[in-house]
Structure 1
Amino acid sequence: MILHGGDPEQCKRDVITRRVPMLEFAAPGKLPSGCLGMQCGAPAGTDLLASRPSPRVVKTHLPARVLPPSFWLNGCKVIYVARNAKDVAVSFYHFYLMNKLLPHAGTWAEYLEEFMAGRVVYGSWYDHVKGYWERRKEHPILFLFYEDMKEDPQREIGKVVQFLQRELSPAVLDAIAHHTSFESMRDNPTTNYTSVPADLMDHHVSPFMRKGIAGDWKNHFTVAQSERFDEDYAQKMAGTDLRFRTEL
């Protein structure tokens, strides 16, 4: 919306997965048609991006260490959004449950062990956040926190506007905050993934846009799980000045 001057109609012209291709997406073989590009038999992300003029907006979940070298050599701007580990674990667990292209998650207790060990899609959360946090010292990376975005959307949107060297009025910033709120995106078919067939993404198990809050981990972690997680977290995050809030 920032790149389109806050015009919501421009941003609703197609599903988000085609407007912002995912770098690593590839769906081998034929999957059902009529659904969002990220989950169905659509062109690979690299093919979609190859057809786009520069500057392009690229989405990725890849760790910094496996991004293409040209990404860093060309000085590509990176907007990295990080969320506290406990809420990520809960959110990721529900995504595993509803996404039929991923391995079965098992019970919450079983999944939590896998998450802590980094045996999940895209690997260790700890390595992921630390990787981009350290890279920001040498590359143009805007490191944003999910909790800050929930606390004050306009403030964080303003950071993105400045990072992208744009100028937008306060009224446009307010409009962007409204249209990119969790509630608006949850009800927007171009962003909520409801077009994906249920045999690929079962929204009855868990909607893709689930809660969008900070602190939901309290509804899932037992006291023992939380204490063990905190101890493991302290070891894996030792030596970094990266700090997260686990609630607002």
Structure 2
Amino acid sequence: MSNHEFPFEIRDIDPIINKELLQDFRGERTGFIQVGEKKWCFPVKFKDHLPSFYNFKVRPDDVWIVTFPRSGTTLTQEMVWLLANNLDYGRALSVPLVSRFPFLEAFCLFHPEVHAEFLAENRENEEKYKSVEKLSESICTHLDEMEGRRFIKTHLPLTLLPKNLLTAGCKVLYIARNPKDLAVSHYHHTRLIRVRDFRNDFPKFWNYFSNNLINWAPYWEHVLEAWEKRNEENLLFLFYESINENVRKTISEVQNFLGVNFTDEQLSTLNEHLKIDNFRKNKSVNFNAWSTLGIFNENEEPFIRKGKSGDAKKYFDEELEKKANEWIEERLKSTDMKFPNFQ
């Protein structure tokens, strides 16, 4: 296979839509693209790197977490890494999760102009400046050269990931979250992080989300193509709602999937470690490093928010609730997938 093989058409998004998106998502300065028949949506920088993700060399002992953003990704990363690394809390607390469990396409989110702004803001501190420099570098080469077992996070849909991801022997976990809660969480995240920097209200964000005009959309295609592969031997499909309802039960399920075995006491300790109040204060998982580099906007909700299900109701007025429910019901008609405890 050629290193450049990529069987999906990449095209710029409609100029009128692009102009509107740029007004609201101010962390992107050039524009957006759509990929393939499903019109996967990304910032333009992805255009040059999607083939390298698609042709990325998978290893049999890799562990991947694949999600649509804000689906419980960070919690699952920490759980998986600890279970696969003999519950090494010392290393987990001293080495940031972003280093232990790299985010495959994160560098594509850093527009050159925005990256230059971050560099300028951190130029007085050599250590911070070097940290910012690395943020826009491709991680694929780093992963290719990495020794030992690799842990990789991505929000890319399975379609755009290596074709042998589920057959090479590596372990893949997919986490799905109901669209209402996910959209609210994603809305706050895009306001917080300056590489997204959304500057409008939630109804406008929902409009983009439900019309597949946010990064990594379309949401339904992302989730449902993973659901269709849920019975693959090396894929564990989880619902955020189920994790949230019983983290301890999920820990046991993930332990079995990874082929490790710990005592009930050890698993209870991990459960305590993952509780939202402890998690929120944990500088290794709450992207504290990005905060110190100025990548987060001030006066926005934190990276680790509430960790709850069903909290989205207050964001939907009667009209938006009706519209959202119709959109959800229409898409669920074509599948047997149901979100646990979803209203």
TM-score by length of 1: 0.90
How many angstroms apart in 2 are the aligned matches of 1:176 and 1:212? 17
- CA shift for structure 1 position 201: 1.1
- Contact 2:251–2:271 (CA under 8 A) maintained in structure 1: yes
How many angstroms apart in 2 are the aligned matches of 1:159 and 1:100? 36
1:200 and 2:295 correspond: yes
Aligned pairs (5 A) from 1:50-129: 50-102=144-196, 104-129=198-223
**Greater share of residues in helix:** 2
RMSD: 2.3
3-state secondary structure, aligned to 1:137: coil
Alpha-carbon deviations, 1:19-50, whole Å to 9, x = none?
A: 1011222255654463997x763343313322
How many angstroms apart in 1 are the aligned matches of 2:332 and 2:289? 38
State the structure with more CA Rg.
2
Q: Name 2:97's counterpart in structure 1.
A: 16
Quickly say closer, same or farther: Cα 1:201–1:224, change in 2 above 3 A: same
1:233 and 2:325 correspond: no
- Contact 1:192–1:209 (CA under 8 A) maintained in structure 2: yes
Quickly say closer, same or farther: Cα 1:226–1:97, change in 2 above 3 A: same
Deviating more after overlay: 188-197 vs 80-89 = 188-197
- Contact 1:76–1:140 (CA under 8 A) maintained in structure 2: yes
Q: How many residue pairs align between the two structures?
A: 247
Which residue, 166, 174, 182 being the options, matches 2:260?
Answer: 166
Deviating more after overlay: 156-165 vs 184-193 = 184-193
Alpha-carbon deviations, 1:85-136, whole Å to 9, x = none?
A: 1000100000111111115252111111111111111011111110111122
- Contact 1:114–1:120 (CA under 8 A) maintained in structure 2: yes
Deviating more after overlay: 200-209 vs 143-152 = 200-209
Quickly say closer, same or farther: Cα 1:79–1:219, change in 2 above 3 A: same
Deviating more after overlay: 189-198 vs 40-49 = 40-49
- Contact 2:175–2:239 (CA under 8 A) maintained in structure 1: yes
Quickly say closer, same or farther: Cα 1:36–1:145, change in 2 above 3 A: farther
- CA shift for structure 1 position 199: 4.0
Residue identity in the other structure for 1:181: K
Which residue, 313, 331, 337 being the options, matches 1:218?
Answer: 313
**Greater share of residues in strand:** 2
- Contact 1:62–1:122 (CA under 8 A) maintained in structure 2: yes
Quickly say closer, same or farther: Cα 1:182–1:44, change in 2 above 3 A: farther
Q: Name 2:228's counterpart in structure 1.
A: 134
- Contact 2:169–2:234 (CA under 8 A) maintained in structure 1: yes
1:178 and 2:291 correspond: no
Residue identity in the other structure for 1:184: N
- CA shift for structure 1 position 191: 0.8
Q: Name 2:41's counterpart in structure 1.
A: none
Quickly say closer, same or farther: Cα 1:165–1:91, change in 2 above 3 A: same
How many angstroms apart in 2 are the aligned matches of 1:78 and 1:40? 30
How many angstroms apart in 2 are the aligned matches of 1:191 and 1:41? 19
- CA shift for structure 1 position 224: 1.9
TM-score by length of 2: 0.66
**Identity percentage of aligned residues:** 27
How many angstroms apart in 2 are the aligned matches of 1:54 and 1:139? 23
Alpha-carbon deviations, 1:139-170, whole Å to 9, x = none?
A: 52111111111111110010000000001100
1:244 and 2:339 correspond: yes
How many angstroms apart in 1 are the aligned matches of 2:129 and 2:304? 17
How many angstroms apart in 1 are the aligned matches of 2:186 and 2:225? 20
- Contact 1:87–1:246 (CA under 8 A) maintained in structure 2: no
Structure 2: runs of 5 or more not aligned: 1-81, 120-126
Q: Name 1:6's counterpart in structure 2.
A: 87
3-state secondary structure, aligned to 2:154: coil
- Contact 1:157–1:173 (CA under 8 A) maintained in structure 2: yes
How many angstroms apart in 1 are the aligned matches of 2:167 and 2:87? 31
Quickly say closer, same or farther: Cα 1:85–1:76, change in 2 above 3 A: same
3-state secondary structure, aligned to 1:81: strand
